[in-house]
Structure 1
Amino acid sequence: MSNLSYANGGNGAWQTFLAQVDRVAPYLSEDLADYVDTLKRPKRALIVDVPIIMDDGSIQHFEGYRVQHNLSRGPGKGGIRYHPDVELNEVMALAAWMTIKTAVLNLPFGGAKGGVRVDPRKLSARELERLTRRFTSEIAHIIGPQKDIPAPDVGTNPNVMGWMMDTYSSGQGYTVTGVVTGKPVHLGGSLGRVKATGRGVYITGCQVAEKLSLNIENAKVSIQGFGNVGSEAANLFYLSNAKIVCIQDHTGTIFNASGIELNALHAYIEQHQGVDGFEGAERIDNEAFWDVETDIIIPAALEGQITVERAHRLKAKMILEGANGPTYPEADDILNERGIMIVPDVICNAGGVTVSYFEWVQDMASYFWSEAEINDRLDKLMVQAVEDVWACAHDNGCTLRTAAYILACERILKARKERGIFPG
């Protein structure tokens, strides 16, 4: 298993979420205490068999999942992940983090997530399409623009969303653009969606850096994961004259104390599909990524990356969680004791779901905004979320993560309480 895989698997991710809920419970108002366990149980979890005919004529079976964690504030929202390590506990955790994330941003959604245990790189384009269409048909009865709206995640992309939309629409007898977000723009997708998560990482990072009196110009930045999120965050920090000193992806880790020239790196990746071998930096051991002296570190790969052992070694002033759940609770404690500021995933990487919300709204109205309008709306919502969380942390004397959970859980549990339980 590569360095960008899970430290303790998906079960560790679910346990991390449960620990986060336990930590926030004492801060919640007394009238919501009876409802806290709502957050510890997914509303609905579906496991499906996904058989497909391979190009050689053989039949292979893959296991798929769709989990709806909480729908108290609106339809489910969350990505579809294709990865060989996908399993139920991981999908449950990712759905739960989406519940928190949409509530922190005050979007009218609940949390959901899905996935198929498969290595998409080992499938042909036709096999990938068959897999997607079969999976969509298996979960079609629980998704929909007012039920649950999937989106891209690790191992999926706009093309996959297009196949999902078409398959669902075929069953309805008409085109339903709002059933998924992250689609190609010409199929009802939104401008700015691909770059939104990385942009959100940058915006929240700049907001918190300003509060810490950390100058972005000439700040040293290290990034784990160089897909849509990591690469866009890198581009924006680079344009702000920060130094990108270390990058790790699935092919290896590269380091240049003077700063990596990103334009040359992007050209190299176009040809070689990874950072390994890039001549503008030296190759270092994957584990050495966590020892690099840096101002800002951005884990933008998979969950479970910052362990207790790595938390002791990190040399950074601020962590921007571009990935979901990259830091274990025990590691959280160590980082906080060491004075390393963590901008938690539930606000830091929420740019993607925010623009997904914009896409959904545009699909419902069949009226589309310019990319400048999208970015302006995104920036305002992200800045407001940081301000809200920062104020909550100050008022309660807690970390930004706990503050984000206080705000989110209050909103979710108030909705649950006011809707009531039927039948009583």
Structure 2
Amino acid sequence: MTLFAGPVFDMARTQFNIIADHLEIPSDERDRLLLPKRAISVSCPIHMDDGRTAVFTGYRVQHHLTLGPAKGGTRYAPNVDIGEIAALAIWMSWKCALADLPYGGGKGGVTVDPRLLSPRELESLSRRYMQEMIPFVGPHTDVMAPDMGTNEQVMAWFMDTYSMYQGVTVTEIVTGKPVGSGGTLGRNEATGHGVAFLASRALDHLGIDPLASTAILQGFGNVGSHAAIGLARRGTRIVGLSDHTVAIYDRNGFDAQSAFDHVMKHRVLKGFADQAEIDPTELLTKPCDILAPCAVERVIDEEVAAALNCRILAEGANGPTTPDADLVLGNQNNAIFVIPDILCNAGGVIVSYFEWVQSLQQYFWSKDEVMEKLERALDRSWRQVVDRANRHGVSNRTAAMSIGVDRVRKAKQARGLFP
């Protein structure tokens, strides 16, 4: 029994057990690989604008520190719980190991709907959360980043709060911060850029002409919007988009940049193409070459998987496809080519690593240098995953997770067990 529970954690555990069986990992090694090293829960009281005192619950999970500091985002969402945060930290461990980054997985969150907070309340909550985390984080212990519901402004508040307690500016305590405060060029679009880059690699792998290809992006936040723009620049027609307010579909396609500009102005996609609105549940199963779920976990279950009508599933979100859905995808006669999440959305953590290195060295790169290094890193992981999948006759997800899990396992074996 552990304190971690819920459907998202159960999914992470099931995925791990599948890989552990595949790698023939002895049963007495499995808990040490799966269970987080440290889980923190804190209360974050703040003064609200109406004079009340409200208390929000915050979490941070550090999965392992074997390869280096924990690394991972911090999300603000009303459904955040310790099980979800633990699962996301576990997935981040395999993702960092697959990309060969010197990190263990970390993740944090606060149970709150940030849209209901004023700017002052949001700042107060962010600073209080970081203040509570100071005993447990550090540039060589745990490095935070943005996630759902947070952004570069929140990271700037995190950095400033930590720095005030240290008495010096510590830019390397977070990544994803503003460029003017020690951030890196290219970080905002890194995850979406990586999704577009790898989806294009998959098109080439399958012999599909990019100029004749179509894509649907479920989730038009930071990841989905930049993925759509990146695909459109490569010639792919964007035929479907959605966010939490609306889903739109048109076989003739949408202008991705115009949709992005609309969201920047109105904060939501609704109102961009009223005539093209459809039921959000239908969007995932519309015909396309590339389907990129870029929102939340577990949107593709067994039923949805059976109805998918795409050639490539590019997982921009963390854990969008359930293990039961994976079984359906693997049994199809004309199997869908899956780019698993720990590969597909790794662009964000790779560029976060670049930002951390630049902050430590106080030496900064151009955007072209960042993007060149990002694509080179993604391409290296892509080739390793596809090669392993072909050699072992396994799915891309099994190949990717096997690489990640095996690297963490070997690092733990090399270091031994202390004391």
Q: What range is the shorter-chain TM-score in?
A: over 0.9
Partner of residue 350, structure 2: 354
Q: 1:102 aligns with which of 82, 96, 99?
A: 96
**Which of 368, 371, 375 pairs up with 2:367?**
371
The reply on whether 1:177 has 2:175 as its aligned counterpart is: no
Local SS of the residue matching 2:46? strand
The alignment partner of 1:259 has SS state of: strand
- Residue from 392, 396, 410 that aligns with 1:396: 392
Contact 2:225 2:256 in 1 (8 A): no
Whether the 8 Å contact between 1:312 and 1:335 is mirrored in structure 2 is yes
- Separation in 1 of the partners of 2:264 and 2:344? 27
Deviations 1:277-308 (A, max 9, x none): 32375111111112311111000001111011
Corresponding letter in the other structure for 1:402: T
Distance 2:117 2:140 in 1: 32
1:35 aligned counterpart, secondary structure: helix
| Local SS of the residue matching 2:247 | strand
* Secondary structure in 2 matching 1:414: helix
List gaps (5 residues or longer) in structure 2.
none
Residue 215 of structure 2 corresponds to residue 221 of structure 1: yes
Matched, 1:342 2:328: no
Question: Are 1:93 and 2:77 counterparts?
Answer: no
Q: Percent identity?
A: 44
- Secondary structure at the aligned position of 2:248 is classed as strand
Distance 1:374 1:10, change over 3 A: farther
Aligned-partner residue type, residue 350 of structure 2: T
1:385 corresponds in structure 2 to 381
Compute the displacement of 1:145 (Å): 0.4
Deviates more, 1:71-80 or 1:10-19: 10-19
C-alpha distance after superposition, 1:82-129 (max 9, x if no partner): 000100100000000100000000000000000000010111111001
The answer to whether residue 292 in structure 2 is matched with residue 264 in structure 1 is no
CA distance 1:402–1:378, change in 2 (3 Å): same
Letter of the 2:342 counterpart: V
1:24 aligns with 2:19: yes
Counterpart of 2:198 in structure 1 is 204
| Offset, 1:224 | 0.6
Partner of 1:14: 9
Correspondence 1:81 to 2:75: yes
1:405 pairs with one of 365, 388, 401: 401
Spell out, residue by residue over 1:160-207, the C-alpha distance to the aligned partner (whole angstroms, 9 max, x if none).
000000111111111111000001011110000000000111111122
Give 2:348's aligned amino acid.
Answer: G
Q: Where do residues 136-147 of structure 1 align in structure 2 (5 Å cutoff)?
A: 136-147=130-141
Q: Which runs of 5+ in 1 are unaligned?
A: 1-8
The alignment's C-alpha RMSD in Å is 1.5
- TM-score, with length taken from structure 1: 0.95
C-alpha distance in 1, partners of 2:379/2:416?
A: 33
Secondary structure of 1:136's match?
helix
Equivalent-residue separation in structure 2 for 1:179 and 1:398 (angstroms): 39
Q: What does residue 60 of structure 2 align with?
A: 66
Aligned mates of 1:300, 1:150 — CA distance in 2: 21
* Pairing 1:45–2:45 present: no
Aligned partner of 1:403: which letter? A
Report the counterpart of residue 238 of structure 1 in structure 2.
232
User: Counterparts of 1:270 and 1:46 in 2: how far apart (Å)?
Assistant: 35
Question: What is the rounded CA distance, in whole Å, between the counterparts of 2:97 and 2:348 in structure 1?
Answer: 14
Q: Which runs of 4+ in 1 moved over 3 A?
A: none
Aligned 8 A contact 2:284 2:291 in 1: no
Tell me which residue corresponds to 1:330.
Answer: 324
> Map of 1:114-129 to 2, 5 A cutoff?
114-129=108-123
How far apart, in 2, do the equivalents of 1:266 and 1:205 lie?
20
Residue from 270, 285, 307 that aligns with 1:313? 307
- Aligned with 2:185 (options 177, 188, 191): 191
**Pairwise CA distance, 1:34:** 4.3
Post-superposition offset of 1:346: 0.2
- Indicate whether 1:297 and 2:291 are aligned: yes
8 Å CA contact 1:159–1:183 kept in 2: the answer is yes
Deviates more, 1:77-86 or 1:36-45: 36-45
By relative contact order (CA 8 Å, sep 6+), the higher-ranking structure is 1
Conserved 8 A contact 1:36-1:413: no
Aligned partners of 2:361, 2:265: CA distance in 1, in Å? Answer: 40
CA contact (8 A) 1:64 1:117 kept: yes
Q: 1:271 and 1:398 mapped to 2: Cα distance? A: 45
Residue 112 in structure 1 maps to residue 106 in structure 2? yes
The total of aligned residue pairs comes to 414
Task: Measure the CA separation in 2 of the matches of 1:272 and 1:138.
Answer: 34
**Aligned partners of 1:258 and 1:419: how far apart in 2?**
56
Q: TM-score, normalised to structure 2's length?
A: 0.96
Q: Which amino acid aligns with 1:91?
A: I
Partner of 1:6 in structure 2? none
- Choose 370-379 or 276-285, whichever is displaced more: 276-285
Q: Which moved more, 1:170-179 or 1:34-43?
A: 34-43
SS of 1:151's partner is: strand
* Partners of 1:254 and 1:275 within 8 A in 2: no
Change (3 A) 1:422 1:266: closer
**Which moved further from structure 2: 210-219 or 15-24?**
210-219
